């Protein structure tokens, strides 16, 4: 009886671990690994920034990973990127992990690799400004 209970428990454990979701999030689908240099990410940047509230109020990019997604606040800097209001961007970024990030900072560093597109005009469906 003990043996059967152990087998049932083992079977249930295997079934639950196999049934775990293997679908990638939208962000993960737009990320490709590069050897020892972090990840490449495609990201859209809205034509306007918004005030976000982390440790304190700060000017944030509005980003999304796919055109059909909703805009979300992005609290990190993008090294090498010179943002101009009034343009929507599609960027290729390198995301690398910091070794010992400060507690009030992102654990990732984002660096511009390429501006894929820069389109003049207002972005659509932006969230309301919370000022």
**What is the structure's pLDDT at 23?**
46
Nearest Cα to Cα of residue 41 among 95, 81, 79, 77: 95
Question: What pLDDT, on the 0 to 100 scale, is given for residue 129?
Answer: 81
Q: Supply the pLDDT for residue 83.
A: 98
Residue 60 and residue 114: Cα distance in Å, rounded?
20
The 10 Å Cβ neighbour count of residue 59 is 10
Count of C-beta atoms within a 10 Å radius of residue 31: 19
Q: What is the tens place of the pLDDT at every residue in 75-106?
A: 999 999 999 999 999 999 999 998 888 887 88
Which residues of the chain are under the pLDDT cut of 70? 1-36, 131
pLDDT at position 125 is 95
Phi/psi at 65 (nearest 5 deg)?
A: -100, -20
Q: Where are the domains of the chain?
A: 24-120
């Amino acid at each position: 009886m003990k043996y059967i209970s152990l087998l049932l428990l083992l079977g249930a454990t295997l079934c639950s671990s196999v049934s775990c979701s293997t679908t990638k999030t939208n962000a993960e689908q737009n990320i490709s690994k590069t050897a020892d240099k972090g990840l490449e990410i495609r990201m859209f940047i809205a034509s306007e920034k918004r005030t976000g509230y982390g440790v304190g109020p700060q000017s944030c990019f509005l980003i999304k990973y796919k055109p059909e997604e909703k805009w979300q606040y992005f609290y990190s800097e993008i090294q090498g990127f010179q943002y101009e209001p009034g343009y929507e961007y599609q960027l290729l970024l390198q995301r690398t992990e910091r070794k010992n990030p400060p507690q009030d900072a992102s654990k990732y560093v984002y660096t511009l690799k390429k501006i894929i597109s820069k389109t003049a005009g207002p972005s659509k469906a932006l969230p309301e400004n919370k000022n």
